[in-house]
Amino acid sequence: MTDQSRAGSSGSLGSIGVEIAGTAMHLPSTKLTNHDLEQMMDTSDEWIIKRTGIHTRRRADIAGGETTSVLASEAMRKALENAKIDPKDLDLLLVATMTCDSPTPSIGCIVAREIGCRDIGAMDINAACSGFLYTICMADAMIRSGQYKTVGVIGADTVTRHIDYSNFGRGAAILFGDGAGAMVLRATDDPSIGMISHEMHADGHGAKHLFIPSCEIDFPEEAEFDERKLDKVQMNGQAVFKFAVTKFQEVIQETLTDSGLTADDIDHFVCHQANSRILDSARERFGIPEEKLLVNIQKYGNTVGASIPIVFDELMSEGKLKKGQKVMFLAFGAGLTWGSSLWQL
Shortest approach of ligand COA to residue 255 CB, angstroms? Answer: 19
Phi-psi region of 260 (alpha: psi -120 to 50; beta: other; left: phi over 0): left
Query: CA 293, CA 57: separation in Å to the nearest integer?
Result: 20
Tell me the residue number closest to ligand COA, measured at CB.
Answer: 237
Give whichever of 154 and 334 is closer to ligand COA, judged by the CB atom: 334
Shortest approach of ligand COA to residue 296 CB, angstroms? Answer: 15
Residues that bind ligand COA (CB under 6 A): 43, 47, 51-52, 129, 170-171, 174-175, 235, 237-238, 240-241, 244, 274-275, 302, 332-333
- Residue 275 is among the residues annotated as catalytic for this protein: no
Q: What is the DSSP string of 212-269?
A: --SSGGGS-TTS---GGGTTS-EE-HHHHHHHHHHHHHHHHHHHHHHHT--GGG-SEE
- Amino acid in position 288: I
Shortest approach of ligand COA to residue 128 CB, angstroms? Answer: 7
Q: Which of 26, 209, 268, 272 is catalytic?
A: 272
Give whichever of 41 and 85 is closer to ligand COA, judged by the CB atom: 41
Give whichever of 51 and 285 is closer to ligand COA, judged by the CB atom: 51
- Residue 137 is among the residues annotated as catalytic for this protein: no
Q: Which of 100, 129, 137, 271 is catalytic?
A: 129
Give whichever of 147 and 238 is closer to ligand COA, judged by the CB atom: 238
For residue 214, how many other CB atoms are within 10 A of its CB?
9
- Amino acid in position 249: Q
Angle, helix 107-115 to helix 68-83, in steps of 10 degrees:
50
Question: For the stretch 123-136, what's the b/e string if a residue is b when 16 or more beta carbons lie within 10 angstroms of its beta carbon?
Answer: ebbbbbbbbbbbbb
Sequence-distant (6+) residues with CB within 8 A of 40 are: 165, 166, 173
Shortest approach of ligand COA to residue 171 CB, angstroms? Answer: 5
Give whichever of 85 and 202 is closer to ligand COA, judged by the CB atom: 202
- Residue 215 is among the residues annotated as catalytic for this protein: no
Shortest approach of ligand COA to residue 64 CB, angstroms? Answer: 26
Catalytic positions, please? 129, 272, 302
